[in-house]
Amino acid sequence: MSPTPPHKSLELLREKEMLHEFIRTSTEYIFSIDFSPPVSTRGSVDELVERMFRNGRFGFVNERFARGLGLALEDLIGRPCTAYFKQQANQEVIEALVQSGFSLFDFESVGLVDGEEFYLLNNMVGTVENGYLLRLFGTARDITAQKQADSENIRQREQLMHMNRIGSLGQMASSVAHELNQPLTAIRLNAGAVKMMQDKGIDDPGETLAIMDDILADVSRAGEVIQQMRDLYIGRVHSAGRYDLGTIIANALRLLNSELLVGNIRLVREHDGSSLGIEANEIQIQQLLINLIMNACAALRSMDSVKNLTVRTRREDSRIILEIRDNGPGFPQEDPETAFLPFVTTREDGSGMGLSICRTIIEAHHGTIGARNAEHGGALVTVVLPAIEGP
């Protein structure tokens, strides 16, 4: 092999120095993780992940990485990765890295320094020789500020939803009073019947037991109404679960029953008989329904003719379609979709946030919501949600 010409060696040396300077001054976090001993790639994903966390140490980090974490280079190089990246918090992303064949891009990891969490957006590529993982090379970008901003946006959005729920409850006061009045009146009448039997010396254990069963059923019904209202008011945190949309609709309509009666609104409930299983936050979907139905009721108030409200559900393949239609004046805007913009309202008592919050809820459930004026008059709001089998 002929020796490398001197000028070529000088060029290679300069390129190496330039590369070192680039790595040292890069605004990206640049690092390598060495595995000692090397990690066998044989075995299950769980076994590989466990060995990677156990054997992984920082082989190299650039100054930007150390400075971004508020650490000195010596605090990182040679230290176990688990000193700053806990296995429990990063288990899933490392599993994905293993399943990708040790080449994964644009994935998030979470670290901990002095009790403070930080978040990185990473790219990693592994070196595998003879069935052993030797090291990982990676670049990362600090996205902690972005994550914190996202968290603050979520907090503000949840607070806005909560205020919307409180506003809706105020408007639903008559409906709630009516729903509670029915079981409470029945309890009072049944209790009076038992007292009358006692006063007249009537000894009928079977009848007394039947009356007590009725009282317990009415107490349970009143308790359910109160619990529903309490959940809506405090915004009880519900993780997503499997629910039947038809049941959620029935519960919302029960709460709004008096609103429909007082407004002399004829309710039509249509369903094609298909399964309406969804993965959802029950309280948020109920809030969505209450917002949409109360908007329709408000639009029908000024109508002198017959007032109709139709709630229609059907399933199309992997989608569930919910349509809420009234025969009111419809949307006054040229583009009804503007109704979903914040602070857009046609109601004197409206905040302009109800439909905007509805869109936020639906998008969080990976669905869509749209509005248009119906062909024969009135407003039509269509909600599409992903369907699941069940619930």
Do the beta carbons of residue 374 and residue 366 sit within 8 Å?
no
Q: Which of 142, 161, 184 finishes a domain?
A: 142
Does residue 359 share a domain with residue 253? yes
Helix or strand holding residue 322 (H, E): strand 319-326
User: What digits encode the pLDDT tens for the residues 299-321?
Assistant: 888 788 899 999 999 999 899 99
Does residue 262 share a domain with residue 366? yes
Kindly state the tokens that stand for 64.
């930007």
CATH, residue 41: 3.30.450.20
Does residue 319 share a domain with residue 170? yes
User: What digits encode the pLDDT tens for the residues 212-255?
Assistant: 888 887 787 777 767 766 665 665 545 578 999 999 999 888 87
What is the sign of the dihedral through the CA atoms of 60, 63, 69 and 73? positive
Number of domains in the chain: 2
Do the beta carbons of residue 357 and residue 160 sit within 8 Å?
yes
Closest among 111, 114, 115 to 143, alpha carbons compared: 111
Q: Is the pLDDT of residue 387 over 90?
A: yes
- pLDDT, position 14: 60
Q: In angstroms, rounded to a whole number, what is the distance separating the alpha carbons of residues 295 and 113?
A: 49
Specify if 222 maps to a domain. yes
Do the beta carbons of residue 252 and residue 286 sit within 8 Å?
yes
Specify if 83 maps to a domain. yes
Q: In angstroms, rounded to a whole number, what is the distance separating the alpha carbons of residues 99 and 16?
A: 33
3-state secondary structure 120-175: EEEEEEEEEECCEEEEEEEEEEECHHHHHHHHHHHHHHHHHHHHHHHHHHHHCHHH
Does residue 191 share a domain with residue 106? no
Does residue 249 share a domain with residue 292? yes
- pLDDT, position 332: 73
Does residue 311 share a domain with residue 215? yes
| 349 confidence band (pLDDT: 50, 70, 90) | very low
Does residue 185 share a domain with residue 326? yes
Q: In angstroms, rounded to a whole number, what is the distance separating the alpha carbons of residues 52 and 5?
A: 43
Kindly state the tokens that stand for 242.
């499997």
Does residue 128 share a domain with residue 157? no
User: What percent of the chain clears pLDDT 70, i.e. is strictly above it?
Assistant: 75
Do the beta carbons of residue 313 and residue 246 sit within 8 Å?
yes
Q: Looking at this protein, which amino acid is placed at residue 193?
A: A
3-state secondary structure 200-242: CCCCCHHHHHHHHHHHHHHHHHHHHHHHHHHHHHHCCCCCCEE
pLDDT, mean of residues 286-295: 85
Q: Is the pLDDT of residue 138 over 80?
A: yes
No. of helices (H) and no. of strands (E), the chain: 12, 12
Q: Looking at this protein, which amino acid is placed at residue 59?
A: G
- 235 contact partners, CB below 8 Å, separation of at least 6: 158, 161, 162, 165, 283
Kindly state the tokens that stand for 223.
């308790």
Q: In angstroms, rounded to a whole number, what is the distance separating the alpha carbons of residues 368 and 340?
A: 12
CATH, residue 249: 3.30.565.10
Q: Which structural domain range is residue 268 located in?
A: 153-386
Does residue 218 share a domain with residue 117? no
User: What digits encode the pLDDT tens for the residues 313-346?
Assistant: 999 989 999 999 999 888 876 655 655 654 445 5
